[in-house]
Amino acid sequence: MASGQSRSSNSLVVPQANQALDQLKYEVAQELGIQIPQDGYYGYMTSRDTGSIGGNITRRLVQIAEQQLAGGTSANRFSR
């Protein structure tokens, strides 16, 4: 694989959401007491830790969507 090329095939529908999702990742990791590597290499993290972060992000995004559908809070709030 060429250097600098991302291995992920996932792409955001709204590319501007990348910063908000990154912020959410760090918030969730901090709440769980998990340290995210500063260099961006996740190879030394356990699958349990990365899965916990991803699962909690998904849970939070679903809560936000449910609140929006119910006429609740705005999309800019990631708090519970």
- State the alpha helices, DSSP H only, in the chain: 18-32, 47-69
State pTM to two decimals.
0.69
* pLDDT number for residue 17: 86
* Segment 48-58, tens digit of pLDDT: 999 999 999 99
**Which of 52, 49, 57 has its CA nearest to residue 22?**
57
For residue 58, is it left (φ>0), alpha (ψ between -120 and 50) or beta? alpha
Residue 16 carries which DSSP code? G
Q: Are 60 and 80 in contact (CB under 8 A)?
A: yes
- Eight-class DSSP state of 71: T
